[in-house]
Homo-oligomer: A and B are copies of this chain.
Amino acid sequence: MDIDIKHPYLLFLGEAHDMLAAKTAIGVAHWRPEWCVGQLRLPGCNATCSLPDLTLEQAKEKGAKTVIIGVANRGGKFSAAWIELMVKALGLGFDLASGLHNKLTDITEVVAAAKQRKRSLFDVRHPTREFEVGDGKKRTGKRLLAVGTDCSIGKMYSTLALEREMRKRGMKADFRATGQTGIFIAGSGVSIDAVVSDFVSGAVEWLSPANDPDHWDLIEGQGSLFHPSYAGVTMGLIHGAQPDALVICHEPGRPHMRGLKHYPLPDVEQCMEANLKAATLTNPKAHYVGVCLNTSAMKEDEARKALEETGKKFGLPCVDPVRWGVGPLVDHLQKAG
């Protein structure tokens, strides 16, 4: 079964104790405000997506079709309160979609309620179909892949900002999701880090099939070639993506690789070179089209200076996609044809 999640969404934030715990819901609300009728929070929740607080019944009236479990659950367990709410949502006719490691399809009551009301359960972190081994054959259409010096450094936001800007200019462009938040935002995709390692590049080939010659697939990157936990995922993704265009994502000043205090971030130039080498195996024409910096921790003048200096250093458009958009990067793409 391929993933195809129906919107509009009601975003469930549970008892998220801070914004970080609700980052999936916040990402969906940021990129697909038109798909989100509201949020549902339980007592103790300290996060918000800045959407109206709705009950299940109110969300139903507003036309919501799917409840998105967009929050991390403590200790990996579903509480009785969550299960009760999920069963009620199914009874009201909602589908459920979750990005958690634990599966909705492992909860007896939820499975029974879904079956009874013929509703769908989406555990987007768990692929529900089998993939072929990648064959490395060139597909038609254009492909852009975001790579990064680290995990969680802005690859998804960069690709989504590109999709928004390119569509605004009338270009054919589709964001291709490879992680759970991205899948909620696209309504489909493959959680690539949950695919059996032999099939990673094949899964990305499947995710980004042949297309019109002037169509851009904007493929969400994962991990980093320099992250000792996840570089294999990144490598398989790069090869399956066969990117024509690469965007490098970086956060100046980040002290160490995510989750690993004993690993410093790689030098940006060295990281660009390694990713380009990997990409040219399946697409000899791969090249960089821009740099995306996450400057959220910087003051405005400091951030502008960083963008300018980095752009000059690499001879490429350099942008902060969230702060000031990706206009210069898309100008460059359009000029290059």
Contacts and interface: CB of A to CB of B under 8 A. Distances in A.
Contacts of A260: 135-136
Contacts of A281: 226, 228, 231
Nearest to A204: B232
A202 B230 CA distance: 9
A196 B198 contact: no
A207 interface: no
Nearest to A136: B228
Nearest to A277: B274
Given A196-B196, A197-B196, A197-B236, A202 B229 contact: yes
Contacts of A230: 133, 198, 201
Contacts of A233: 197-198, 232, 236
Interface residues of A, number: 36
Report how many copies the assembly holds: 2
Contacts of A196: 193-197
Contact of A136 (B192, B201, B263, B282): B263
B197 A135 contact: no
19 contacts: A134-B228, A134-B229, A135-B260, A136-B260, A136-B262, A136-B263, A193-B197, A195-B197, A196-B196, A197-B233, A197-B236, A200-B232, A201-B229, A202-B229, A228-B281, A231-B236, A232-B233, A234-B235, A235-B236
